[in-house]
């Protein structure tokens, strides 16, 4: 009978340890292999996602040559396999070499069943998350998937996705508020694809990137002869998006005179091209975004209050990457897989120091900064694994600018680690507690103390 348990391949030549491990890991469909040929045959037939590999295999049980040969073959065959390498031979040197060759983790013998089980459990969880993200990114045209190309495990972004799913079928104007690089245009595209306007055009314009004297023509179009150089009648972005969605990025940069004309369109749904006299009815949905404080601009008289309320019928606030626990590592692995396929196929993953640096960095440039750093690192990397130096990241995290208060610092650290554990375990309390090294009751107490939600 077929089993629904995840497959775990144990490559170990000690028959006593084979039996012990198989008995201990009853939660998995355990497959045993005692040598290289059997291990590779099991990889082909069983396709396990996690492997525990003893480096001391026959015919070299006292060395590591045969074990590393198996590791290399697995990485060549299926690079996304999570291989946990175990050895008692020159542990530190073997560990560094194993990680460099693509192993997920290293464990020094003698084997502690409980500790190794925790490592294996984390490997399965990470593999599951990566698989779900791959399937998510492969979905095309799925009307129920708003974030079809946005990878996340953070509850903060899940909340954003739910909001977008609810407003997408309506015709309300949506304003996306977030720092530069947080993915505002990607979310706007997701909203468009989830709406009834998906068959129409999605047209984007960055209002800050176009000179003020040209922005009106870009938005509203112009008639032939309207000004010097207007040799033909040209539709503006609003008309080009008829029946679809117009995304106005950096809407706070629209000058006041043009704000009046945009407000008239939102109220009457008609436009006039520059040099034209005929009103043109246009059915276009407006989605806008900005990183500026429009409320402050209203107070300063640089942004119209009536236009703000027309544009901001629904406001969606997008968290920074630093406020999305666990997402930096997930996104980095996604970008690496994408870029390495085209730019440097020898690159297979990240070294431990790179993962630590990614997880600890503040990411002031958000997802765009992460994407650019990973792309550069893939191009420049000389080894199979990208390291922190390739990413041009310093020793890890930037220090938090917290007040010099020990209680505050401890609470901030507790909150950060709990949120990361919950994100990585997808809200599973038992798994999150294991990741944190505490009991479930203790975690429940902390959730209550800090007013945190499990999902």
Give the residue, 308 or 423, on which the prediction is more confident.
308
Pair 248, 270 in one domain:
yes
Residues 44 and 87 in one domain: yes
User: Do 382 and 245 belong together in one domain?
Assistant: no
Boundary of a domain, candidates 288, 317, 346: 317
Determine whether 200 is exposed, middle or buried from the number of CB atoms within 10 Å of its CB (0-12, 13-18, 19+). Answer: middle
Residue 387 pLDDT: 87
356 token code pair: 């630590």
What gap in Å lies between CA 190 and CA 316, rounded to an integer?
A: 13
Q: Write the Ramachandran bin of 250: left for phi over 0, alpha for psi from -120 to 50, otherwise beta.
A: left
Q: Could you tell me where the beta strands, DSSP code E, fall in 336-409?
A: 349-350, 385-386
Please give the Cα distance from 400 to 386 (Å, whole number). Answer: 26
Residues 328 and 312 in one domain: no
Parallel/antiparallel/unpaired status of strands 280-281 and 270-271? antiparallel
**Of residues 395 and 254, more confidently modeled:** 254
Mean residue pLDDT across the chain: 84
Same domain, 166 and 311: yes
The distance of Cα 69 from the centroid of its chain, to the nearest Å, equals 33
Q: Is residue 292 part of a domain?
A: yes
Q: CATH number for the domain including 435? A: 1.10.10
> Minimal CA–CA distance to 324: which of 154, 122, 129, 106?
154
CATH number at residue 366: 1.10.8.60
Residue 453 has pLDDT above 90, yes or no: no
Residue 335 maps to a domain: yes
Long-range contacts of residues 109-117, Cβ cutoff 8 Å, at least 24 apart: 109/54, 111/17, 111/21, 111/86, 113/20, 113/21, 113/24, 116/52, 116/84, 116/86, 117/24, 117/25
Give per-residue pLDDT as tens, 405-416: 456 567 767 877
308 and 164 co-located in one domain? yes
Strand 285-290, strand 174-177: pairing: parallel
Report the CATH number that the domain containing residue 101 is assigned in CATH.
Answer: 3.40.50.2300
Query: How confident is the model over 424-441, as pLDDT tens digits?
Result: 666 778 888 888 888 888
- Average pLDDT of span 276-302: 93
Domain that holds residue 411: 406-449
- Is 146 part of a structural domain of the chain? no
Q: In this structure, how many other beta carbons lie within 10 angstroms of the beta carbon of residue 255?
A: 13
Domain end marker among 391, 414, 435 = 391
Q: Does 298 lie in the same domain as 159?
A: yes
Domain assignment of residue 376, yes or no: yes
Q: Within this chain, do residues 366 and 381 fall inside the same structural domain, yes or no?
A: yes
User: Is 401 a domain residue?
Assistant: no
Q: Is the peptide bond before 59 cis (omega within 30 degrees of 0)?
A: yes
64 and 35 in a common domain: yes
Residues 37 and 101 in one domain: yes
Using alpha carbons, list the distances in angstroms from residue 331 to 23, 129, 324, 327.
Answer: 36, 11, 11, 6
In a domain, 214, yes or no: yes
Q: What average pLDDT score do residues 372-390 get?
A: 91
Number of structural domains found in the chain = 4
The closest of 103, 45, 32, 111 to 74, measured between CA atoms, is: 103
| Tens-place pLDDT, residues 194-241 | 899 999 999 999 999 999 889 999 999 888 877 877 778 889 999 999
Domain contains 39: yes
CA-CA distance, 55 to 436, in Å (whole number)?
29
Q: Residue 401: is its pLDDT beyond 50?
A: no
Question: pLDDT band at residue 144, thresholds of 50, 70 and 90?
Answer: very low
Residues of the chain with pLDDT > 70, as a percent, come to 89
d(CA 89, CA 132): 36
Worst-scoring range by mean pLDDT, 87-96, 206-215, 312-321?
87-96
167 has a pLDDT exceeding 80: yes
DSSP for residue 222: B
Last residue of a domain, one of 283, 317, 351: 317
Do 159 and 30 sit in the same domain of this protein?
no
Torsion-angle region of 53 (φ positive above 0: left; ψ -120 to 50: alpha; else: beta)? beta
Percentage of the chain modeled with pLDDT above 90: 40
Count CB-CB contacts under 10 A for residue 136: 16
Reported confidence tier of residue 27, pLDDT bands at 50, 70, 90: confident
295 with 180, same domain?
A: yes
Report yes or no on 51 lying in a domain: yes
């Amino acid at each position: 009978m077929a089993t629904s348990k995840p497959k775990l391949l144990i490559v170990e030549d000690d028959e006593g340890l084979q039996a012990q491990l198989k008995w201990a890991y009853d939660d998995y469909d355990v497959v045993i292999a005692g040598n290289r040929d059997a291990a590779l045959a099991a990889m082909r037939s069983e396709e396990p996602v996690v492997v525990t590999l003893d480096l001391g295999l026959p015919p070299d049980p006292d060395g590591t040559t045969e074990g590393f040969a198996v590791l290399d073959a697995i990485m060549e065959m299926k690079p996304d396999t999570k291989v946990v390498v175990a050895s008692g031979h020159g542990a530190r040197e073997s560990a560094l070499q194993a990680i460099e060759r693509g192993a997920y983790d290293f464990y020094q013998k003698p084997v502690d069943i409980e500790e190794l089980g925790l490592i294996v459990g984390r490997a399965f969880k990470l593999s599951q998350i990566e698989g779900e993200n791959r399937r998510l990114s492969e979905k095309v045209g799925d009307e129920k998937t708003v974030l079809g190309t946005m990878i996340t495990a953070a509850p903060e972004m899940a909340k954003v996705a739910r909001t977008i799913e609810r407003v997408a079928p309506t015709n309300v104007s949506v304003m996306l508020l977030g720092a530069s690089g947080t993915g505002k245009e990607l979310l706007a595209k997701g909203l468009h694809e989830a709406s009834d306007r998906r068959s129409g055009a999605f047209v984007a314009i960055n209002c800050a990137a176009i000179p003020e004297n040209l922005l009106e023509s870009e938005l509203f179009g112009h008639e032939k002869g309207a000004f010097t150089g207007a040799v033909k009648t040209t539709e503006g972005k609003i008309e080009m998006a008829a029946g679809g969605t117009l995304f106005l990025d950096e809407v706070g940069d629209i000058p006041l005179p043009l704000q009046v004309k945009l407000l008239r369109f939102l109220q009457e749904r008609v436009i006039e091209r520059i040099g034209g006299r005929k009103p043109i009815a246009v059915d276009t949905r407006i989605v806008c975004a900005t990183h500026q404080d429009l409320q402050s601009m209203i107070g300063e008289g640089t942004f119209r209050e009536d236009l703000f309320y027309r544009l901001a019928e629904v406001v969606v606030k997008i968290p920074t990457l630093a406020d999305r626990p666990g997402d930096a590592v997930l996104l980095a692995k996604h970008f690496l897989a994408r870029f390495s396929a085209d730019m440097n196929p020898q690159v297979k993953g990240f070294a431990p120091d790179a993962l630590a640096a990614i997880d600890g960095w503040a990411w002031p440039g958000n997802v765009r900064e992460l994407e650019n750093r990973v792309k550069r690192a893939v191009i420049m990397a000389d080894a199979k694994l990208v390291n922190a130096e390739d990413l041009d990241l310093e020793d890890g995290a930037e220090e938090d600018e917290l007040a010099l208060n020990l209680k505050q610092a401890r609470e901030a650290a507790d909150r950060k680690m709990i949120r990361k554990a919950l994100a990585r375990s997808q809200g599973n309390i038992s798994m999150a507690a294991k990741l944190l090294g505490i009991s479930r009751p203790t975690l429940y107490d902390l959730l209550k103390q800090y007013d945190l939600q499990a999902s």
